[in-house]
Amino acid sequence: MRQVKSEVLFNRKVISGCFVMGLYCPEIARSAEPGQFVHLRVEDREEPLLRRPFSIYRVENEKIEILYKVVGRGTKILSRKRRGEKIDLLGPLGKGFKIDSTVKRLILVAGGVGVAPLYFLTSRWAIAKMREVIVFLGAESKERLLCEEEFKGLGTKVKVATENGSRGFKGLISDLFAKWLSSGQLLSESLICACGPLPMLRKIASLSKRSKAVCYVSLEQRMGCGIGACRGCIIRGKNGYLRVCKDGPVFNAQDIDWNWMP
């Protein structure tokens, strides 16, 4: 884990309220693994005091990128950063996706900005090893879909659901995933990985369990220190408490006590 003053290389809007920021940080770029995150101070001033966590979305040479949605004070400040400004970064943090060599096929389920760690996973792991990847992408509408072309560009099969039906299946991505599972297309040697809003993850975890498939989820719990000290991001696992920042953010879905989650 490194703490660096990283230079903003670009910060561009990709859809309304969502941005991709490129950061120059060779030390972090070199060691980042899919599913890990960076914890960044959006201001050098005292406020906002706490760092904000973001999944690593892309890594290219000495640069990392994050894909973020503006939801509050910190992300609003972030969205105003300009090329050349410096941001204090901690990273790479947390445990990412651990995928063993028996896995032949990845089934990815992403809701909204949950695409970020899954895109990094696809670009780094699956494509390099020539594995098959099927991506389920969900959003409110076609205008809010993220990374569809990018995933296609990596040679994956992409299935889309929008809540208003403006593109692909009409409904939630978890409903499309359930429909696909019930048609018996889940083959052995597949691994399911999901990232998105908690209700979506809960549903994907339960569907995967019913299909006896292994499922990893990447959680986006609010957190404090990001390094396992403050225990601000604790959740209940099947065998005791888990720190999302240090024991995760990627967990086997069956290790989580979903009844306890908010």
Helix/strand/coil (H/E/C) assignment for every residue in 82-133: CCCCEEEEEEEECECCCCCCCCCEEEEEEEHHHHHHHHHHHHHHHCCCCCEE
CA end-to-end span of the chain, whole Å?
30
Report d(CA 213, CA 230) in Å as an integer.
33
Q: Can you tell me the distance from the alpha carbon of 62 to that of 53, in angstroms, rounded to the nearest whole number?
A: 20
Judged by CB under 6 A, does residue 116 bind ligand FAD?
Answer: yes
* Binds ligand FAD by CB under 6 A, chosen from 5, 73, 80, 152: 73
Residue from 249, 251, 253, 258 binding ligand FAD (CB under 6 A) = 249
Residue 249 assigned ligand-binding role? no
**C-alpha 88 chain-centroid distance:** 21
Among 24, 75, 232, 261, the residue binding ligand FAD under the rule CB under 6 A is 75
CB atoms within 10 A of CB 227: 16
67 near ligand FAD, rule: CB under 6 A: yes
Q: Compute the chain's Rg from CA coordinates.
A: 18
Chosen residue from 30, 152, 222, 231 binding ligand FAD by CB under 6 A: 222
Tell me the C-alpha to C-alpha distance, in Å, between residue 128 and each of 11, 120, 184, 191: 28, 12, 27, 17
251 is in an annotated binding site: no
Per CB under 6 A, the segment of 68-76, 80-88, 102-110, 126-134 that binds ligand FAD is 68-76
Q: Is 156 annotated as a binding residue?
A: no
CB of 116 to ligand FAD, least distance (A): 4
14 binds ligand FAD (CB under 6 A): no
Our CB check for ligand FAD shows the closer of 19 and 180 to be 19
Q: Map residues 179-208 to x or -, x wherever contact with ligand FAD holds by CB under 6 A.
A: ------------------------------
User: To the nearest whole angstrom, how small is the minimum distance from the Cβ of residue 210 to ligand FAD?
Assistant: 26
Interatomic CA distance for residues 23 and 5, integer angstroms: 10
The amino acid occupying position 33 is E
Q: How many CB atoms lie within 10 A of CB 95?
A: 15
Identify the residue whose tokens are 């904000």. 52
In whole angstroms, the minimum distance from the beta carbon of 102 to ligand FAD comes to 27
Confirm or reject binding of residue 120 to ligand FAD (CB under 6 A). Answer: no
What CA–CA distance (Å, rounded) separates 42 from 252? 31
Q: Which residue is nearest to ligand FAD (CB)?
A: 72
- Structure token pair of residue 245: 């920042």
Query: Which residues belong to the annotated binding site?
Result: 52-55, 74-75, 225, 230, 233, 245
Return residues touching ligand FAD (CB under 6 A).
37, 52-55, 66-69, 71-75, 113, 116, 220-223, 249
